[in-house]
Chain A
Amino acid sequence: MVPRPANQEALTFPAEPLLVVDGLDVTFAADPRSVPAVRDVSFRLDRGRCLALVGESGSGKSVTARTLVGLTGGRSTVTARRLAFAGEDLTAFTEPRWRTLRGRRIGLVLQDALVSLDPLRTVGAEIAETLRTHRVVPRAGLEARTLSLLTEVGVPEPEQRARQYPHQLSGGLRQRALIASAIAAGPDLVLADEPTTALDVTVQAQVLDLLRRRKQDGAALLLISHDLAVVGGLADDIAVMYAGRIVEEGPAAQVLGDPRHPYTRALLDAVPVTHAKGARLAPAAVRHPAPTPSGCPYAGRCPRSDLRCRDQLPERVVIPTRPDVAAAEPGVADGRPTVGTGHAALCWYPTVDAPAVLDAVDDRPASGAGPGVGRPVTAAALLEVDGISKRFRSPDGTSRAAVRDVSLRLHPGETLGIVGESGSGKTTVARIVLGLLEPDGGTVRFAGRPWGGSGVREPDRRGRRRHIQAIYQDPLGSFDPRYRVERIIGEAAATAGVTRAGRGARVAELLEQVGLSADLMGRRPLELSGGQRQRVAIARALAPGPDLIVCDEPVSALDVSVQAQILDLLAGLQSELGVALLFISHDLGVIHHVSDRIVVMKDGAVVETGEVAQVFAHPAAGYTRELLAAVPRPVGGRTAPPDRGASTRVVVTTPPAP
């Protein structure tokens, strides 16, 4: 692939792809000191192709997507050398012109359909709105077309669903309805912003499948995700974004199989499915001085950064194609890269030999503890759950079994993973174990004494409650928003008998244990980032000195880099303190990474249980096999670098950053 200087782009007009983005900058006026949200982003995308934008939270993915429909939002300034869709210059568009494009020729699917669909309108009305706005079908045909769209995206019983409201549908159905509303007018370009985040793996696979079909039907697809594994199976090209810039780009197989930018490598390492328990996910925290504004944006976190990195923005380096990787992926056989320059990275040192720090941490146990930590201990079980069941009454009077005859054993210091799709009863089991809900039948014993089930009275339990603590998906919901961190953790410490005088010191100690600075003591929950909040939740759970922590989807709301840090933290704390974990997640990768043994649940019942390696390698139940098959994996994975350091570097001159 011969790279072309950007200013000749306009001359190649007849061959111009459907979407051309060249040198896109977006700045928000809200904070004049802040760096631009999107900087010098360039890519191209053609019909029937899929480009994935990948990067952590705040890297500018959504802003890029919204800019493509003229809805950047806020008080924003958008500039670009070229921003063209189907040959038309988008920078010159007025609001009425944009309206003819939106929905009709470019469809936008936002993350989290619960808030992206109007909660006060029926799903059918939302889908019909696109059709009506662009007069795609005559008024009389609206309903029939809406139903056929719902059928097309795989929503069963479309007549009934069309009359329902978003909150009445499951996450997967909602997301499909949202997609149906975005593709209703048959747009040439579909922008899907995190379409599968928050969905469990089976549903996620179905939604990706749905998008794949759009692509096969000839639509161009811009897929946005923070998870490289998710995009692997669908994207032809991948562009990795960091701090508003594309730091690595290229054909999917090349980027995934031969990642060169340290950030891409960190993202791939953060995918838990490729690692067994004990391996660290996040690179050891690298604390470098922050880069100068003109330096590499990643320098503050990069294990390789040196003086040059901090002072000078790296040049875009073209990476020669590795034939073994390219051959492994038929998706790029037609050799039409759409990002523009083939495989390239924005880094001074894009060599394959992994930087020393990364290599060293890669398969090191999460803390200094010796081998065998976290293995099941053959002592008496800490938690014994025997044949519990629970039914819930629906408003219409019928009752539904949420948990059916579930039995579990958990030993001190062990991690038991519970996995299953949404609605399989995981959280109900957790609430029974926590003693927040009484089972209809069966018994729970904790530390050898009755804990839940008939005959257990609350006064018996109250004194022992501090030995079982919980961490939830959304810590905000369990914090009093008015309290400061010091009080939130301090009150939990008090239940372990810490005196008022000793509390400050204990809170500081706990904060340090979870990797937070004591400066945060004075903050309120809303003033913390998602990762910090979850660390505070962990500190609070640790404060009473528990023997068991029930973790209900503790990392599901976090982006993958933060998720990796939290998983590492939990693993480290477990080996340090010997606390047992009951770890619930819909994410098999996460479960695989943290668990010693796992329990697979479906429709309230246990379908399989066993050692984690055993279950993953030889799933016995059909359902487990189905779940495993749906797990997205980075295509090709990380292969061992063949020719260390021998890569030829081709430096391409790019226009100077503004």
Chain B
Amino acid sequence: MTALGLVRAVGIRLAAAVAVLFGAATVAFAALQLVPGNPVAVLLGPATTAPPAVREQIRVDFGFNRPVVTQYLIYLGHLARGDLGQSYQLQRPVSSLIGSQLGSTAQLALAAIGLAVVIAVMSAVATAGRPRLTAIASTWELVAVSTPSFWLGIVLLTFFSFRWRIFPVAGSQSFSSLVLPALTLALPIAGVLAQVLREGLEAALDQPFVVTARARGLSRTAVRLRHALRHAAVSLVTLAGWLTGTLLGGAVLVEVVFARPGIGALTLQAVSNKDMPVVIGVVLLSAGVFVVLSTLVDLAYLAIDPRLRKG
């Protein structure tokens, strides 16, 4: 790829990212407008008793006494400076609230997606093109996909923590406390990924280059791992990227069930307390995660398939 081409590709990517974030911010702003009642009270939330001076400060900061367009521009101006505002209920800036919880959730999400990919690859590689094994594997995959994750979490907790005491019940201190939550999130995803991966593998194994590879003396397994897997990886990556995006939502339930701190727990708390600044912050975070993931997926395509690299 030429330098010029690279600059253009990056430029297009950045513009798209800005557009997505801008869209999310606008939707959040519109939602805030639509909530009935005094906007200052909405921002403060029902549970606070702020003195009038604070209320006046908010009114000025957000321009609530000025036309909606001006309010919107002020709001965008804050965001552009990276200022997500203040949670008046928790008495902390939203960015530091999110920052303090992000690590734990990212750890959980990455562990879950990593685990899911490993399980899916093992299940698919071992069974692709083998009808009898496929029947067995698709059974567990179907069960995994259709089990609600909070229920799965409770079942895992019941056996591994309460009955056998292998893993801790709650918390996020040790590595072992990560295992059950990650598994809970990973299993349904692994089920979907395995199905898609198996289909991709079977399509790849029908290609003539597989005969060539085996005619070189490669074993069946080597052909799967060295040739077919990479072909199937394109659909795997697409889906894995998308599913990672949904993990943020999944984290809400799992973090509650396992009493883990994290964005999920923060979101749940903010929503139930009507802490609007935090809710808006989480919406923007999701949009950001989406942008990052789709960029990573596109980069992964280029790494996997040289035919997509132009020039």
Contacts and interface: CB of A to CB of B under 8 A. Distances in A.
Interface of A: 66, 69, 71, 73, 95, 99-104, 106-108, 110, 112, 115-121, 129-130, 133-134, 165, 167, 178, 181-182, 395-397
29 contacts: A69-B215, A71-B211, A71-B214, A73-B211, A95-B219, A95-B220, A99-B217, A99-B218, A102-B216, A107-B215, A108-B211, A108-B212, A108-B215, A110-B212, A115-B207, A117-B212, A118-B213, A119-B305, A120-B306, A121-B230, A129-B213, A129-B216, A133-B218, A134-B217, A181-B216, A182-B215, A182-B216, A395-B2, A395-B5
B2 A100 contact: no
A117 B215 CA distance: 12
Contacts of A118: 209, 212-213, 227
Interface residues on B, range: 20 to 34
Given A119-B307, A395-B2, A395-B311, A102 B209 contact: no
Contacts of B67: none
3 A-B pairs closest in CB distance:
A103-B217, A108-B215, A103-B216
Contact of A99 (B4, B219, B230, B310): B219
B212 A120 contact: no
Contacts of B207: 115
Nearest to A167: B307
A106 to B, nearest CB: 8
B37 interface: no
Nearest to B310: A395
Residue in B211, B216, B305 with the greatest tally of chain A CB atoms within 10 Å: B216
A119 B307 CA distance: 8
Contacts of B220: 95
B208 interface: yes
B293 interface: no
B211 A120 contact: no
Contacts of B307: 119, 165, 167
Contacts of A116: 208-209, 211-212
A284 B230 CA distance: 50
A557 to B, nearest CB: 16
Interface of B: 2, 4-5, 207-209, 211-220, 222, 226-227, 230-231, 304-307, 310-311
Contacts of A121: 227, 230
Contacts of B214: 71, 102
A102 B210 CA distance: 13
B230 A102 contact: no
Contacts of B209: 115-119
A373 B227 CA distance: 56
A349 B2 CA distance: 67
Contacts of A100: 217
Contact of B208 (A112, A120, A395): A112
Contacts of B222: 133
A246 B21 CA distance: 69
A69 B214 CA distance: 9
Given A101-B217, A110-B212, 11 more contacts: A99-B219, A102-B217, A110-B208, A112-B208, A118-B209, A121-B230, A129-B218, A130-B216, A181-B216, A182-B212, A397-B4
Residue in B4, B213, B226 with the greatest tally of chain A CB atoms within 10 Å: B213
A167 B310 CA distance: 12
Contacts of B215: 69, 71, 102-103, 106-108, 110, 182
B216 A133 contact: yes
A133 B222 CA distance: 10
B246 to A, nearest CB: 28
A470 B20 CA distance: 45
Contacts of B310: 395
Contacts of A73: 211
Nearest to B304: A120
Nearest to B233: A120
Given A120-B305, A120-B306, A396 B213 contact: no
A400 B153 CA distance: 63
Contacts of A134: 217
A129 B209 CA distance: 13
Contacts of B311: 395-396
A104 B217 contact: yes
A410 B141 CA distance: 65
A182 B219 CA distance: 16
Contacts of A108: 211-212, 215
Contact of A178 (B5, B212, B227, B231): B212
Contacts of A133: 216-218, 222
Contacts of B2: 395-397
Nearest to B218: A133
A104 B216 CA distance: 7
Nearest to A111: B208
A167 B212 CA distance: 17
A458 B310 CA distance: 31
A120 B226 CA distance: 10
Contacts of A95: 219-220
Contacts of A115: 207-209
Contact of A165 (B208, B211, B230, B306): B306
A101 B214 CA distance: 11
Contacts of B226: 129
Nearest to A165: B306
B217 A120 contact: no
A395 B4 CA distance: 10
Contacts of A120: 227, 230-231, 304-306
Contacts of A397: 2, 4
Contacts of B218: 99, 129, 133
A69 B215 CA distance: 7
Contacts of B5: 395
A110 B227 contact: no
Contacts of B304: 120
B203 to A, nearest CB: 13
A285 B226 CA distance: 49
A40 to B, nearest CB: 25
Nearest to B2: A396
Contacts of A69: 215
Contacts of B208: 110, 112, 115-116
Nearest to B5: A395
Contacts of B230: 120-121
Given A119-B307, A395-B310, A181 B212 contact: yes
Contacts of A178: 212
B131 to A, nearest CB: 11
B161 to A, nearest CB: 44
A100 B217 CA distance: 7
Contacts of B212: 108, 110, 116-118, 178, 181-182
Contact of A110 (B211, B219, B231, B306): B211
Contacts of A99: 217-219
Nearest to B307: A167
A458 B311 CA distance: 32
Contacts of B219: 95, 99
Contacts of A107: 215
Nearest to B206: A73
A377 to B, nearest CB: 47
Contacts of B227: 118, 120-121
A104 B310 CA distance: 36
A380 B214 CA distance: 60
A197 to B, nearest CB: 13
Nearest to A62: B211
A121 B204 CA distance: 14
B266 to A, nearest CB: 42
Nearest to A127: B216
Residue in A107, A119, A120 with the greatest tally of chain B CB atoms within 10 Å: A120
A110 B216 CA distance: 12
Nearest to B230: A120
A73 B208 CA distance: 11
Contacts of A104: 217
A99 B220 CA distance: 10
Nearest to A397: B2
A375 B240 CA distance: 65
